[in-house]
Chains A and B, each alone.
Chain A
C-alpha cells in the first residue's frame, strides 16, 4: 500500500505524460471546429464524474484535478444541433478561404471526409482537379428554377406544350444539363427515400458527376423529404469523420468526439463516456475495455465466440461446497464463499480455500504455466492450452456475472435503506454511500474483467508479473468491498458500515487507478510483450 500513499507517484505519471504531448490527441485540436480547448474544463469535470463528485464523503481528492490521468483521453459529447453548428463552421471557413459558395465548400468537405487539412492542401495544388473529382463546377450563381417555352425534357419526354401555359418548370446545375422540375423531384426522392443517399446525389445526365447541392435539393423536394435528407447528411458527417463516433447506446442520439488516431490504438485505450452515461471505447465502439487495447480485445472476443462450445461457462448461481458438497447459492458479487453447513470458507472462482486468498501468497488470478510447458504429446499440449484459456475466460466471465449480482444485491439493499430513511433520522445523503460503492464495484469489475483478456495475451516475463501483482491487489480490494455489501444492514450498525465501505471504496478506486496508469505507462514505454502478433 506504500506506493499509493506516496503523493509523488501521481506526479511521476503526469511528468511522463507531458513528454509525449501526442499521447491521446492530435495537435490540430484547435482546428477541430468545436472551439478548440475552450471547453476543456467542462470535459475534465465530465471525466472526474466517473469517480463521482469529489465530495467530503470520499475525503479530499486533489490529485490531477486540473489534468487528465495518463490512461484518460479527452472527449466530448455532441448533440445533433452542435453537429450542425460544427459543419456550418467548417463550411464557412472553407468557403471564405477559397472564395467559393458555401454549398460548394460543403460538397468539397464531404468529398474529403471532412478532413479540412487535406482538402486545403489538395485544393491549393490544383483546384480544377479537386473540383472535378468532388463533383463541383465553380459558378458564382446558384441553380434556380426557370419556366421555359419550347423545352422537351430528355427524361420524361414531355414538352412545354404539355404544361399549363405552354411553359415548363426546369432546372439545371452549373453543368447546364437541364431537365424538368418533376423529374428532378422524382429522382431526388428516389435517391433519398429509397436509396438512403445524401452526400453524393449527382446530376441526372449520364456520366456527369456534378453533385447536387443542399440548397438545390431543398428547392425541389417536399419538406418532409428534405428533413430526411438533412438527417442523412448529418449522419454522414459523423460516419465520415475519424474524430467522431455515434454513441452505441440504444436510443441515444448523441455523438462523441475524440482525437485518438487509429494508428495509436495498439498503445492507447480511448475510453469515453457519452453524456447519456454510456461508457464505451471510441476506438472500436465496444463497451469500455480498459486496460486491454482494441486489437487484443478483438482477438479475445473472436476467441470467446469460436470457443463458446468448449468453454461452456456455466453462469449458474449455485456450486457445491468443495468440502461437504452441500449446495451453495451465490447471491451477491462477492467470491468469498462460506458454507452454511460446514463453515468452510472457499473461493468461488478456483474452489481453493479462502485462507490462501487473504494473505500475500494469494495466487487466484495467476495461471500456473508449468503444467503446460511439461506437456510432451499434442494431446497433453492442447489440454494444457485449453486449461490456460479456461483459467482466463472463467475469471473474465465471473467478473461480468459478479458485477450483475453486486447490482442485484444492491437493488434489494436499496429498498431496505429507503424504508429506514422513512422510519429513522437517516438522511438521504447518509444512505448514498452504498450506491457509490456499488457503482465503483461495477466499474472495477469491468476493469478486472479486461485485465484477464490482456493477461491471456501477455508473454510470460517479469513485466507480466508486475501486471498480475496489480491485478491481484485490485481484485483483492474489490472482493473485500463486495463482501461488505453482503453484511446485514441494521440501523445501529450503519455508521460503522458507512465508514468501512467508504474507506474501502476510496481504496478500490485507487487500486484501479494504479492498475490503469501502470498499464498505460507500460504501453508508452513499450514494456508489454505479447504472445500473439496483431
Chain B
C-alpha cells in the first residue's frame, strides 16, 4: 500500500504537469483508486474520429500487480470494435495487462500500448468468442484467463 500510494501520487503529478500521451485526456482522477481517460488514435486508422473511454482501477499492491483496465460502456462511451475487445463489458485481451505485466510499466505506457493496439488493427471485427465471453465473463477482466495470441492484430 505504501508503494502504491506514493507511486500513484507521483504518476498523477507527472500526468497533470506534463499531460498524458497525445490523444488521451484525464476524465477523472479524484483519488488513487480509479482513474478515467478518454482515448483516440492519432493519424490514419480504422478508428479515425472516434473517442473511447478507459477506466483504470488500481489494486493495493500496484505496481507489483497490474491495474484493471477496461473500455467504458457507460457515460455515453462504447468500446471499439476490435478483435481483442469484448463488446458487452469492454474487457481487453492484452498481454501487458496480464501475464506480461512488469512493475516498470505505468499508466502512461498502458495508454500508449492501447493506442498502438487500436492503430495496428486491420479489420473491424469482434473477438471470435465475443458472445460466449459476454455471457460468462467474470466481473474483472483480471479474473479471466486470456490466451494472448497476437497483441498487434
Contacts and interface: CB of A to CB of B under 8 A. Distances in A.
Contacts, number: 41
Interface residues of B, number: 15
B63 A207 contact: no
Interface in B75-107: 96, 100, 102-105
Given A187-B103, A190-B61, 4 more contacts: A155-B63, A186-B3, A186-B61, A205-B104
Given A183-B103, A204-B103, A157 B7 contact: yes
A206 B113 CA distance: 13
B71 to A, nearest CB: 23
Interface of A: 154-158, 182-183, 186-187, 190, 194, 204-208
B65 interface: yes
21 contacts: A154-B104, A155-B3, A155-B103, A157-B6, A157-B7, A157-B10, A186-B3, A187-B103, A190-B61, A190-B65, A194-B61, A194-B65, A204-B103, A204-B104, A205-B104, A206-B96, A206-B100, A206-B102, A206-B104, A207-B100, A208-B102
A205 B102 CA distance: 6
Contacts of B29: none
Given A190-B64, A190-B65, A156 B102 contact: no
Given A157-B7, A182-B3, A187 B104 contact: no
Which 4 pairs show the lowest CB-CB distances between chains A and B? A206-B102, A190-B64, A157-B10, A155-B103
Interface string B46-59: 00000000000000
A207 B102 contact: yes
Kindly name the residue among A182, A186, A190 whose own CB sees the greatest number of chain B CB atoms within 10 A: A186
Nearest to B101: A206
A381 to B, nearest CB: 38
B23 to A, nearest CB: 22
B95 to A, nearest CB: 10
A199 to B, nearest CB: 15
Nearest to A189: B64
A183 B63 CA distance: 9
B58 to A, nearest CB: 14
A158 B63 contact: no
Given A157-B6, A157-B10, A158-B6, A186 B64 contact: yes
B10 A187 contact: no
Contacts of A157: 6-7, 10-11
B6 A156 contact: yes
Contacts of A207: 100, 102
Given A156-B6, A182-B3, A183-B3, A204 B102 contact: yes
A190 B63 CA distance: 10
A158 B9 CA distance: 12
Contacts of A155: 3, 7, 63, 103-104
Contacts of B11: 157
Interface string B110-128: 0000000000000000000
A154 B102 CA distance: 11
B25 to A, nearest CB: 23
Nearest to B64: A190
B105 A206 contact: yes
A187 B103 CA distance: 8
Nearest to A208: B102
Kindly name the residue among B63, B96, B103 whose own CB sees the greatest number of chain A CB atoms within 10 A: B103
B60 to A, nearest CB: 10
Contacts of B105: 206
Kindly name the residue among A157, A187, A190, A194 whose own CB sees the greatest number of chain B CB atoms within 10 A: A157
A158 B65 CA distance: 18
Contacts of A190: 61, 64-65
Nearest to B11: A157
Contacts of B61: 186, 190, 194
Interface in B1-35: 3, 6-7, 10-11
B104 A156 contact: no
Contacts of A205: 102, 104
B66 to A, nearest CB: 11
A182 B1 CA distance: 12
